[in-house]
Structure 1
């Protein structure tokens, strides 16, 4: 199984290398030209706004974001070569311009906001140009992308596999590997479809990613509490005895399969799109360095997976379950904030900005009421769940979780 996984992973890496170079477009290699396009579109929006057509002006601001900034690959380049926080700030500036137009702000105020945004983008363009300038810089950017995206997925997969082994269900590990391989293939096909086959708008892409992340939140959150419920030795003994009497079926492992699939699928599709951004306009040497970064990163992820996969088996049962539960909850919390920001970018969810509120990308915290409410609800559900768990534990309830996730 490990040999097939290794070979399949290598095939996917080679497929990514093949897909990306064939569709590079040199027009986007100069980030300053991308910023100039954004500036021109914003100036058109300002003129439209001055004429009194607020709706059309806001549409043109959206065009500047979804066109040159997003489709021109600058959004992804900023996110990975500078920081996710910087990208969130840029997105917020676009929102503030639209908000000012809606409020009927004076033309001078809207113009000032646009100038501020363009100045920030020019700074980012200069930074991106420097990061693109050397073969090592290109290699490093490529390596960081696959490591950053892959590690999150690996943490989820390795934790699930370790649980199956600890629970005496090693024969079900193959289901998780199958889910991972299906997700890898689906990621590549989805990215290709979004980029080249389907005429899907930038807003629709944002909404699709947001919905996928919300599904991941639900699955990871449920798994987090399920694992906490098994940390107690007596509860675990009851669970294992139940499994001796009733074997686990493939159908009952659906939740675990889905968790692995969503973890890989969500990261995989985005990874392909990020590489498309990185390769834009690169010469042959640059493309080779990107390919090398992908290969080295893929091999590093395999090593990381093996370390986590086998190292976790040596951790005592209770610390392992509690630690894994915390990890799952952390990812659910981060995804909740990021999912709402994606849906806000796609206009599926409104965005009410909190002025002066910090952006903490490590925890997926962004300065909008809606994203904070989503994470607040998750925290509230956690508090209620923990109180309920503590209450049932004191009463000596053996199986407070009701139906098992696996049977």
Structure 2
């Protein structure tokens, strides 16, 4: 129970630890002015042929001003994630223009468009922050923002944890569930430590932070895809369970248990530190209205707990095969979105290139962003899923059908051989009985009696074999029908 309470207690307390670090009012006008100055300096040095210096100025404008001064977080929090991505893409477009040796006028035009977009957002942010004309954000808006932050950031983590715990409960491994909770609990502690490091211990660059988030997301995508594939392979096993009257109990290996715990850790950690930073930003813009923030946080947490209970305990009534199918689909969806978001983070950190796809829209809830790098990785995941489905539902059943037919053939052959042997023994017994009947004597009479007993037992065994053969035919017929049904 303590592990289940850790998320609510930790996040409710942690943003107070850092509240004063973000308590100063944001002057978004000053932030945009700083961004404009840095970008224009970049344009000037680019016009002089100093490409590397120009890229450095653009990076400073993004990381040291737009992100480090909190404007990126504020846009994402108070306007929309889509708008934040649009602005990030505009920064990326400037970097790409410089990398591809575009004309100085093209670079300057892109800078002007970005600055114009940033100034359009100043009014919205100023109203939200209460920086304009002394206006303050209403308690209802603060509550809603606090509610949405924990709900949005915790939703995917709750899906992963509830799906994994439901799987362990469904497969009679309730004693292993604590491993998943431990993974989540450790992730919360590490997230808090990470947030402390971000704010106090060392000054990690914006690029370093983006890179760490991207790597964490990609790790999570790999682990979740593995678990998803693992569950897909269990669907076939589930379909055969009602044919097996004496089911052999199996236990999860130590390696698989570690994988489930690690998946839980990554699902929580990938958003943990960022969630704390969002609450810091919200506190600084709420004029110290911490009570409303806590109420919103608690309401969102209660909704997440309700979702957890619904998935974990509601799945008990779902047939095993359907449960595995739904759970594997859910985890694959999360792996797919994490892959796209992970690539986006690495692109923002300038670790990998960003090649735009003009015709592709942004679909945030699927983690689809219009760059070839992200789409290619997600295409690989789709291909891997198709291979897993083809193997699990087509190739493996076909192979099992062939192996079953081969086994049936061997059994039929063995039964036929046994029939022939018994027939041969019976014939020899009859011959011996005929020969002995023409010879008088007490010993001969004993031999005849034994031969009669042998013949009787042979026919008795043949009767049992006939029944066994009929029973096997019925079983094989049912198995064949089930294989045909699966195919």
- Partner residue of 1:134 out of 138, 141, 156: 138
Per-residue deviation at 1:68? 1.4
Alpha-carbon deviation of 1:370?
Answer: 0.8
Q: Which residue pairs with 1:153 in the alignment?
A: 157
Inter-partner Cα distance in structure 2 for 1:6 and 1:377: 35
1:363 paired with 2:366, answer yes
Q: Which has the higher mean CA deviation after the structures are superposed, 41-50 or 233-242?
A: 233-242
* 1:395 match: secondary structure: helix
Q: Distance in 2 between matches of 1:240 and 1:284?
A: 64
1:227 is matched with 231
Q: Do residues 340 (structure 1) and 336 (structure 2) align?
A: no
Separation in 2, partners of 1:202, 1:391: 48
Asked if residue 31 in structure 1 is aligned to residue 31 in structure 2, the reply is: no
Give the match's secondary structure for 2:122.
helix
Q: Deviation digits for residues 10-38 of structure 1, max 9, x if unmatched?
A: 431332242232322414x2333322221
Return the alpha-carbon distance in structure 2 between the equivalents of residues 258 and 308 of structure 1: 20
In structure 2, the residue corresponding to 1:347 is in which secondary structure? coil
Of residues 219, 226, 230, the one that matches 1:215 is 219
Q: How much does 1:75 deviate?
A: 1.3
Partner residue, 1:22: 20
Once residues 310 and 176 of structure 1 are traced to their aligned partners in structure 2, the CA distance between those partners, rounded to angstroms, is: 16
Structural mapping, 1:180-329, within 5 Å: 180-232=184-236, 233-234=238-239, 244=249, 247-248=251-252, 250-285=254-289, 287-329=290-332
SS at 1:231 equivalent: helix
Normalised by the size of structure 1, how large is the TM-score? 0.90
1:98-137 per-position Cα deviation (integer Å, ceiling 9, x unaligned): 2222333333322221111111112223223334432221
1:297-337 per-position Cα deviation (integer Å, ceiling 9, x unaligned): 22322222222221122222222111111111111111111
Picking from 101, 114, 118, the partner of 2:115 is 118
Structure 2 gap segments, 5+ residues each: 130-136, 403-487
Name 1:41's counterpart in structure 2: 38
- 1:401 is aligned to none
Structure 1: 5+ residue runs without aligned partners? Answer: 399-407
How many residues of Structure 1 are paired with residues of Structure 2 in the alignment?
394
Give the deviation of 1:57 after TM superposition: 1.2
Taking the aligned partners of 1:271 and 1:344, their CA distance within structure 2 comes to 21
Structure 1 residues 27-62: Cα deviation after superposition (integer angstroms, max 9, x where no partner): 4x2333322221122122222223332211111011
Query: In the alignment, is the contact (CA less than 8 A) between 1:159 and 1:324 conserved in 2?
Result: yes
Are the equivalent residues in 2 in contact too, given 1:209–1:339 (CA < 8 A)? yes
Is the 8 Å Cα contact of residues 167 and 240 (structure 1) preserved in structure 2? Answer: no
Range with bigger deviation, 155-164 or 37-46: 37-46
Contact persistence 1:229–1:235 (CA under 8 A): no
1:67 aligns to 2:70 (yes or no): no
Q: CA deviation at 1:157?
A: 0.6
State the Cα distance separating 1:217 from its structure 2 match. Answer: 0.8
CA distance in 2, matches of 1:377, 1:211: 17
Contact 1:354 1:368 in 2 (8 A): yes
* Structure of greater Rg: 2
Does residue 177 of structure 2 align to residue 179 of structure 1?
no
Q: How far is the alpha carbon of 1:290 from its aligned partner? A: 2.4
Q: Distance in 2 between matches of 1:156 and 1:280?
A: 31
Higher relative contact order (CA 8 A, sep 6+): 1
